[in-house]
Amino acid sequence: MRKPIFTGSAVALITPFNPDLTVNYDKLEELLEFHIANGTDAIVACGTTGEAATLSEEEHCAVIKFVAEKVNHRCVVIAGTGSNDTMTAIKLSKSAQDSGVDALLCVTPYYNKTSQSGLIKHFTTIADNVVLPIILYNVPSRTGCNIKPETYAELCKHPNIVAAKEASGDISQVACIRSLCGDNLDIYSGNDDQTVPFMSLGALGVISVFANICPQEMHDLCQLCLDNNFRDAQKMHFHYLELMNIMFTDVNPIPVKTAMNLFGFEAGECRLPLVPMSAGGYHDLKDCLLKYDLIDKYKTYSK
């Protein structure tokens, strides 16, 4: 039986920047150690939350290589290598593979979008050019393109296409994917607030924004689900729901990076076209973090 890439909580890791908006590798290393020490089961480098869209190809490859080297197999490392250009996705995927990562996360093509048959050709062409397992990333709200359950069923026939990060927000679609694909395709929630319902349908975990600020808590939530303790998982889900949701009151990763800065992790600003939160949004976020007693907790850790 095929072993899953990971079970539990994978953090969609932020990319910290210096004041001049170059990558801050010292802070990146601190964050990696923070996650390894606090229960994170897998680390996703250069995803949406990592601002991959504004990294140059050189930066993109360098960040992935740095993460793989510093983690050094202490937990699973997944590289975001998707693109709306198939050849670019192959180039990024091969570079990540050479860097020693454990798996790839490939988003659907965006802007040019493509058809369902185009999705099959795009992803199978990438999969044909690597040996690593691939997690398909379906996030129609950002890409304008949805992977249909029947398309998943065709894609998972490829031996390298083994999982999906489902951020469609459609519970019925997830149920249909599970029904059609069974154990041939592992599913991970792409939305923090849907982790528990997804895992009740057989998902193996989450690729999480929330885990940036609460790594141990997200790991524990997933473990309750994996232990089939959905009663306590539900309670934990409801407890943290407000905090999960406030991470999306502005464009991701603006709120989560702001939170990390409030904790003292010096994550830096986001690159344009993302801009700082409004004064009102900032104060609402800070009030929520104070409500959960997170600022004082992490101020101690980050120093």
Per DSSP, the residues of 23-82 read B-HHHHHHHHHHHHHTT--EEEESSTTTTGGGS-HHHHHHHHHHHHHHHTTSSEEEEE--
Catalytic residue among 137, 152, 188, 298: 137
Which of these, 15, 22, 18, 77, lies nearest to 50 by C-alpha position? 15
The active-site residue out of 165, 188, 257, 298 is 165
Q: Which of 171, 198, 173, 172 is nearest to 187 (CA)?
A: 198
Look up 137 and say whether it is catalytic: yes
Rounded Cα distance between 299 and 102, Å, is 32
Phi-psi region of 169 (alpha: psi -120 to 50; beta: other; left: phi over 0): left
* 188 is a catalytic site residue: no
Both tokens of residue 35? 């996650």
Beta bridge partners of 188: 165, 205
Task: Give the integer Cα–Cα distance in Å for 247 and 232.
Answer: 23
C-alpha 260/C-alpha 213 separation (Å) is 7
Q: What are the catalytic residues?
A: 137, 165
